[in-house]
Structure 1
Amino acid sequence: MIKQVTLETLQDLIPLFDAYRQFYDKDSNLKLAKDFLKSRIINNESVIYIVYNEDKAVGFVQLYPSFSSTRLKRFWILNDLFVSPVFRGKGFSKQLIEESKNLCRKTDACAMLLETSINNSIGNSLYKQTGFELRDDANFYEWSTK
């Protein structure tokens, strides 16, 4: 079962989001995770779906809206996708991606973009299996304040 995260279901998401951050070598901080996610929900700055196995929250996806000036439409950035390690390989990631595609359809978006590491073999395989195409016609650049 997949639900869109609201303030009422936020508590189910916090441990998963914290585990996701730890996967990317960030220190655990449940309070900051809660504050960050609560702000995204209150300010309508992202859409977050959570997937349950029976009554246990096992994964989530977070999407941020953006816009394409050339296409004159909204697109979504699939920024975060995480499934608890013990529940991987059971189709939960694919369910979350399908729900994300439904969001794109409902909002008349022109695309969904994501970034993942070249070394993320599992993610790269998953995204190809679910219909994403690897673009080779653009370079990705980042400017950072650190």
Structure 2
Amino acid sequence: MGGDVVVRRADVADVGEVARLFAGYLEFYECPRPPAEVSAYLTARFANGESVVLLAAVGGRVVGFAQCYPTWASLELAPAWVLYDLFVDPSARGLGVGRALLRAVADHARAAGATTAVLETAHTNTTAQALYESEGWVLDTTYRTYALTL
């Protein structure tokens, strides 16, 4: 596999490719799901216009994706994006795919009028943390994230 990383916005016709990568993402985070559930989830996000999915290809092969959810930053009274999912196939790691996806997320968010983009990652995912920080993402030291399982 060689060549430049090409990133493009996915659409509903890409659900199969996104689902393949999304399954790898879920495995990485130890949350596997049946393929039909993954495809149904992604199809609904596309159909309802609820997320923006970017696909990265190297040598014509799709090897990574980022899924973002446009939302609002109420303290800024402006649009914001949440980068919720980012995954690069293990065979393509080290080729700049994650970096290309991060840059494309920032470009698309800016073009959509967003004033900020945020993401979360596991405390143990230090490889991803180093990448994010090298691309200008800053660890939030002001706010603490909480979750309530419902």
> Common fold, TM-score beyond 0.5?
yes
Q: In structure 2, how many angstroms separate the alpha carbons of the residues matched to 1:28 and 1:55?
A: 27
Partner in structure 2 of residue 38 of structure 1: 43
- RCO comparison, higher one (Cα < 8 Å, 6+): 2
Deviates more, 1:1-10 or 1:42-51: 1-10
Q: In structure 2, how many angstroms separate the alpha carbons of the residues matched to 1:43 and 1:28?
A: 21
The answer to whether the aligner puts 1:117 opposite 2:117 as a matched pair is no
Q: Which ranges of 4 or more aligned residues in structure 1 deviate by more than 2 Å?
A: none
1:79 touches 1:115 (CA, 8 Å); kept in 2? Answer: yes
Q: Which amino acid aligns with 1:15?
A: R
Q: Which amino acid aligns with 1:99?
A: A
Task: Give the TM-score, by structure 2 length.
Answer: 0.93
Q: Deviations over 1:75-114 (max 9, x none)?
A: 0000000001111111000100111001111011110001
Q: Deviations over 1:19-54 (max 9, x none)?
A: 111111122411111100000001000000011112
Structure 2 matches for 1:1-146, cutoff 5 A? 1-145=6-150
Would you say how many aligned residue pairs link Structure 1 and Structure 2? 145
Kindly state the Cα deviation for residue 58 of structure 1 after the two structures are TM-superposed: 0.3
Task: Give the TM-score, by structure 1 length.
Answer: 0.95
What SS does the corresponding residue of 1:71 show, helix, strand or coil? coil
Runs of 5+ unmatched residues, structure 1: none
Deviates more, 1:29-38 or 1:6-15: 6-15
Q: In structure 2, how many angstroms separate the alpha carbons of the residues matched to 1:85 and 1:98?
A: 20
RMSD: 1.0
Q: In structure 1, how many angstroms separate the alpha carbons of the residues matched to 2:33 and 2:65?
A: 17
Runs of 5+ unmatched residues, structure 2: 1-5
